[in-house]
Amino acid sequence: MLTVMPSVEEMASLQRKRLQARILSSEEEEKLKRDQALVSDCKQQKLEKEAQKNWDLFYKRNSTNFFKGRHWTTREFEDLRSCREFEDQKLTILEAGCWDCLFPFLEDQNIFAYACDFFPRAVEYVKQNPLYDSERHKVFQCDLTKDDLLEHVPPESMGVVMLIFVLSAVHPDKMHLVLQNIYQALKPGKSVLFHDSGLYDHTMLRFKAGSKLGENFYARQDGTRSYFFTDEFLARLFTDTDYEEVVNEYVFCETVNKKEGLCVLRDFPSEQIPKMS
């Protein structure tokens, strides 16, 4: 099989926003129907208890190679510019986890960035980066499901919070705790920019039998976990935590691996949700 790598313009045209998750093939539907058995409660408790250790080992194995600086964030979130009240305003942002978005944003000289992560090794990787500047960054370890974020950042001080591929690693029962925590740090009327794994993403369909923890929630072989969002679940999660929904949509794109001759479908719900004034 030969796959031709599209041009930049063609790749841009592949990415589009839709109102619903993609439609499954009959084979994919059959696979999901067969895979209904859940991991035992005992193992699920062990995965929850060892979540920090498993993700820290993930970073140790992959170093900084797994995640790349995400320059697409400013394209994906067109309304990021509107987080400023005037063009040259100094913007204070918080990147909650998934620290690889941090440095692309700091190419804008009028941004001061806080960044936190659940995993100690991820925090150290940021501090070791040659682009790290303590005058423009504050990076710290924080478990947003239980640690008080306001021990590290001033209350109601953030012009925007980035929540990118973070909540999917959190147990669904604790996701609201993350949103409550960052709510305290967000200025009234300002936005959380969310991007994460969507329902029926190719990654979700690759899980083998025996990996399912709950509805749309799966465990990888290394013990890390991933949740796959619907737009309905996402909207309810935020509005139940006193946010106001502005944009909530799936981003559909194709990922092409030229070497392997593969083209796979990806689904990512993206949302802009301000704290209510």
pLDDT in tens, 104-120: 766 667 888 899 988 88
User: What is the model's pLDDT at position 137?
Assistant: 86
Q: Is the dihedral of CA 180, 184, 190, 192 positive or negative?
A: negative
Contact indicator for 151, 90 with CB cutoff of 8 Å: no
Report pLDDT for 4.
32
- The token pair at 89 is 């305003």
Read off the pLDDT of each residue in 182-197 and give the average, rounded to a whole number.
Answer: 91
Q: What is the pTM of this model?
A: 0.82
Least confident of 10-19, 83-92, 96-105, 159-168: 10-19
pLDDT band per the 50, 70, 90 thresholds, residue 3: very low
pLDDT digits (tens, 9 = 90+) for 4-25: 333 334 334 434 555 677 788 8
77 Cβ contact list (under 8 Å, min separation 6): 193, 195, 270, 272
Predicted confidence at residue 43, as pLDDT, reads 96
| pLDDT at res. 12 | 43
Edge-to-edge strands of the sheet including 111-117?
A: 16-18, 247-257, 262-274, 186-195, 158-164, 91-96, 111-117, 137-141
Task: State the pLDDT confidence band at 133, using cuts at 50, 70 and 90.
Answer: confident
pLDDT value for 74: 52
Task: Tell me the percentage of the chain whose pLDDT exceeds 90.
Answer: 40
pLDDT at 29: 92
Indicate whether 236 pLDDT > 80: yes
Read off the pLDDT band of 241 (50, 70, 90): very high
Q: For a pLDDT cut of 70, what percent of the chain falls above it?
A: 71
pLDDT in tens, 26-77: 999 999 999 999 999 999 999 999 988 888 888 777 765 545 545 445 555 4
Choice between 13 and 239, residue whose per-residue pLDDT is larger = 239
- Tell which wins on pLDDT, 154 or 252: 154
Average pLDDT, the chain: 79
1 against 248, higher pLDDT? 248
Q: What is the pLDDT of residue 191?
A: 87
Query: Token pair for residue 222?
Result: 């290394």
> Tens of pLDDT along 192-234?
988 888 999 888 999 999 999 999 999 999 999 999 999 999 9
Distance from C-alpha of 269 to C-alpha of 36, rounded to nearest angstrom: 24
Contact 15, 252 (CB under 8 A): yes
**Three-state secondary structure of the chain:** CCCCCCCHHHHHHHCEEECCCCCCCHHHHHHHHHCCCCCCHHHHHHHHHCHHHHHHHHHHHHCCCCCCCCCCHHHHCHHHHHHCCCCCCCEEEEEECCHHHHHHHCCCCCEEEEEEECCHHHHHHHHHCCCCCCCCEEEEECCCCCCCHHHCCCCCCEEEEEEECCHHHCCHHHHHHHHHHHHHHEEEEEEEEEECCECCCHHHHHCCCCCEEECCEEECCCCCEEECECHHHHHHHHHCCCECCCEEEEEEEEEEECCCCEEEEEEEEEEEEEECC
